[in-house]
Chain A
Amino acid sequence: MNVRIISANLVVKLLSFYREKTTMFFTFAFPIILILVFGTIFMSQDSMEYRLSVQDLDQTNSSAESIKTLAKKGKFKITSVDPAVDAVQYVRDSKVNLLLVVPRGYAASLMQRIIFNDYSSSVTITYVYDPSSSSVQTKMQILNAALAGINQGMSGRAPFIRSAEKSILTKKYRFIEFFVPGIIAMSIMTMSLFGTVDSDTELRQKGVIRKLSTTPITRTDWILSNVLYQFILAVISTLAMLLVSYAVFDVNLHIDAWLPVFILLDVFAFVGTGMILTRFVKEAQSAAAASNAISYPMMFLAGSFFPIELMPGLLQTIAKKLPLYYVNEGLRASMVFEDNMAALRSAAIIGVYAAVVFILGIMATKWEENQ
């Protein structure tokens, strides 16, 4: 190992990358675009405030007051609908999936109950809804709970059974906070894999490697400078992704020493995979195809974009055999759930994978054409 040679190599690699402006742009911009697009799509789902349309047929102070209470308890944002329109027609025509109808005589019935203690007095609030909408059920559940709460309050007696919520996750997270670590893991994988396979096959094809084999540079120097180069790109890219995520989505991600650890393991694992691939592909074109064949299934199966729990059992079993899955798990354990033990477990698994693949990669890398 020769530090001067490694740094000379690193300089050439970084300069080449920097001067290839389109490649540089896409390398860094692509994951950021993914974050912006998906972050925006799922932003509405993250904000827990639902819109609720209400048609108040009673038009009294007390009906208005009750609607306000309901809005507060269920965290709804209320849209009032003109009492003159037909409720069913309204839901059908507008994009609204649920309309709450407060009946005429609401105030009168309420008075009957509270002032005259007439416990048989009641009102019926109607949900006019579109069952084809996916979020309407959740909305109705929240409404039911809010209404039950109001009823309970009116009875004046303390409830016997109360409930408390306790999430198994140490904290609530938003989709974007789940998504960003996945994209970090994925883009480091693609950068390291494609970077290694592309540049190695290109330089081999052009005969640069043959020239280098008549100089004092060794295979080890060459491989180490590539790892270092990929690590630097990975760090820059990760910082850019995090910066955008903080600035645009105000994410709440925990950053500690695990982040560089997982970046490094991700780099080693996929530079190693790339070196093994390089051994088997001779031309630049098949090199790209081979890298794609490895990275695409990995991206979709290993839970880069969504939790693997959403997939059928068989696919989950496969996912757990993929190295990228453990980078995802590890990054999320450290950045989202702040669970050091889980991060350590994932780091151990991906670490073993990286070591094995990297050693195989070194063995697979032919330097001299000693044939």
Chain B
Amino acid sequence: MTRETEYAIEVDRLTKRYGDFPAVNDISFSVSKGEVFAFLGPNGAGKTSTVEIIETIRMPTSGKVTLLGMDVTKKKHEIVHRIGVLPQAFSSFDRITVRETLQYYSRLFSVKTDLDGLIELVNLGDKTKEQYKNLSGGLKQRLGIAIALVNDPEVVFLDEPTTGLDPLARHEVWEVLLGLKKKGKTVFLTTHYMEEAELLADTVAIISKGKIIAMGSPGELIEDNANYLALTLRSVDEKVLEIVQKLGFGTVPDKHKNIRIRVEQTYDVQKILQAIKDAGARYRSLDVRRPNLEEVFLKLTGEALREELPEMEAE
């Protein structure tokens, strides 16, 4: 029995325990048809546990999960034909070429696949005869995405599609995913890269320790949780910190002689720079930016999304 709904996925009070440990703790959300939905969270947050329950390959401890109107614990055989999955740390048969691999998965679904179109979509045209084991990490992921699409699925799940890739390869995967978004597929993405969520997602759910702590469009999340500007001054001399603190702004110094200052409006930036100039203090460079999901996450959980600080990433 398929119920027609506007939602591709509905998750209601889902809990998943391993022994006593609640990896997913009573979460609810829904994903509309045609939207790109991102689960953003650090390692061990419960992303994979949630996704794989929706994909029918893990059993929920409690709660109700509905995919395209079907209960995921009961309709596995129908569901697998209508979803496409790129599992976390995806891997395939070493000695099988790109085209053969796609052919293989296409046969598993007993469907006619436009292999050439698919190969073009993930931009693997000149690698079709290459064996899987000879592909670079980025190419492997792109093949994995193509495999997830062989059955022309209604909902596509991508579990950390760019983890472990270098920045260039990551951007190439993003290109592919933007193409997918343009085609209007419903995509469920998990990631711990906020740029990825910000770039691709219509809706982001921030998940930490098995709980969804915020959900909305990237713009809304920033608006609601980090409505301020971040001014960073680099390689400052000792006096600067003193001057800024005297003006009454919150500061975060680091060991590289950089300080980050939270300001409410552009006028504050002028005020600070003027004061530094008047005192004859120095800094090497500065930048001002709107906070991103990284700061939102930091604010909501008190923890960094990843080990590195966001500034380091930007450099």
Q: Does A168 contact B (CB under 8 A)?
A: no
Residue contact B92 to A208, C-beta cutoff 8 Å? yes
Chain B: residues with CB nearer than 8 A to chain A? 18, 52, 55-59, 77, 80-81, 83, 85, 87-96, 100, 103-105, 107-110, 131, 147
A160–B185 CA distance with the chains assembled, in angstroms: 102
A16 and B94 form a contact (CB under 8 A): yes
Q: Judging by beta carbons under 8 Å apart, are A16 and B89 in contact?
A: no
Among A2-10, A49-57, A143-151, A233-241, the stretch that binds chain B is: A2-10
CA distance in complex: A371, B105 (Å): 26
Taking A207-B87, A207-B90, A370-B59 as contacts, is the C-beta distance between A19 and B95 under 8 angstroms? yes
B90:A211 contact, CB within 8 angstroms: yes
Within 8 A of B (CB), among A178-215: 206-208, 210-215
The 8 Å CB contact of A5, one of B59, B94, B107, B131, is B107
Q: In chain A, what residue has the closest Cβ to B94?
A: A16
* CA–CA, A358 and B87, complex, Å: 30
Q: Once the chains bind, are B108 and A214 in contact (CB under 8 Å)?
A: no
| Interchain residue pairs with CB less than 8 A apart (6) | A16-B94, A208-B93, A216-B110, A368-B56, A369-B52, A369-B58
- Pick from A8, A11, A215: contact of B80, CB below 8 A: A215
Q: Give the chain A neighbours of B89 by CB distance below 8 A.
A: 207
Q: In the complex, what distance in Å separates the CA atom of A2 from the CA atom of B18?
A: 34
In Å, the complex CA distance between A64 and B110 comes to 85
Knowing A15-B100, A19-B95, the reply to whether A216 touches B80 (Cβ < 8 A) is yes
Extra A-B contacts (7), CB below 8 Å, given A211-B87, A214-B87? A7-B107, A8-B103, A9-B104, A208-B91, A215-B105, A216-B108, A370-B58
Chain A interface, >50% SS class = helix
Which of A19, A207, A215, A216 has the most C-beta atoms of chain B within 10 angstroms of its own C-beta?
Answer: A215
Chain A residues contacting B95 (CB-CB under 8 Å) are 15-16, 19-20
Q: Count residues of chain A with CB under 8 A from any CB of chain B.
A: 27
How far is it, in angstroms, between the C-alpha of A368 and the C-alpha of B55 when the chains are bound?
A: 11
Chain A nearest CB from B242 CB (Å) reads 54
CB-CB contacts of A326-354 with B at 8 A, as 1s and 0s? Answer: 00000000000000000000000000000
Residues in chain A within 8 A of chain B (CB atoms): 2, 4-5, 7-9, 11-12, 15-16, 19-20, 206-208, 210-217, 368-371
Known: A368-B57, A369-B58, A370-B59. A207 touches B91 (CB 8 A): yes
Give the CA-CA distance A5 to B83 in the complex, in Å: 18
Among A5, A11, A369, point to the contact of B57 (Cβ < 8 A). A369
Minimal Cβ-Cβ distance residue in B for A367 = B57
User: Residue A215 contacts which of B18, B52, B108 (CB distance < 8 angstroms)?
Assistant: B108
A-side contacts of B58, CB under 8 Å:
368-371
Contacts of A4 in B (CB 8 A): 107, 110
Q: Which of B83, B100, B104 has the most CB of A within 10 A?
A: B104
Contacts of A369 in B (CB 8 A): 52, 57-58
**Known contacts A208-B92, A214-B87: A8-B57 contact under CB 8 Å:** no
Distance in angstroms from A6 CB to nearest chain B CB is 10
A25 vs chain B, min Cβ distance (A): 15
| Residue in A closest to B18 when the chains form the complex, CB atoms | A371
Interface contact A206-B91, CB-CB below 8 Å: yes
**Bound-complex Cα distance A369 to B55 (A):** 11
